[in-house]
Amino acid sequence: MAKKPLRLLPEALRQLRKKPATVKYPYEKASLYPGFRGRIVFDATKCIGCKMCMRVCPAKAIEIIQIGEEIKTLEDGKQIISKKFECIMNLDRCIYCAQCAESCPKKALIATQDFELAQINRKKLKITYK
């Protein structure tokens, strides 16, 4: 049987004195737990182009593309070909599992705590890191 509205008044007053059960985000900064997996960033200076990240990505959200190469001379005089890669992240497909970052042998991918990624223009969710 439904309670009469006045019988709920003491409970309503009691609740008014309590702290809110919900967080105040976005009016207050959200507190994230350690190890939170947000937007993935790419460090081109570390990438060796093994494409392990592409293979493990369950959402096919990451692409590694070779964009150039240069000949470098080492201290011992040897010359090597150094390839340069860029990373295309499709944030509209990414599920932020950070599997790519976990699998990268060179730690070229890092999961940041950035989660405020909403966009009206979907094209802005495709980010190219060079």
Binding site residues, ligand SF4, CB under 6 A: 40, 47-53, 57-59, 61-62, 64, 94-100, 104, 106, 108-109
Q: How far is the CB of 103 from ligand SF4 (least distance, A)?
A: 6
Q: How far is the CB of 79 from ligand SF4 (least distance, A)?
A: 22
- Nearer to ligand SF4 by Cβ, of 8 and 58: the residue is 58
Report the alpha-carbon distance of residue 61 to residue 88 in Å, rounded: 8
129 pairs with which residues across the strands? 87
- Nearer to ligand SF4 by Cβ, of 59 and 117: the residue is 59
Token representation of residue 104: 């990268």
- Nearer to ligand SF4 by Cβ, of 51 and 126: the residue is 51
Give counts: helices (H), strands (E), the chain: 3, 5
Report the alpha-carbon distance of residue 129 to residue 100 in Å, rounded: 15
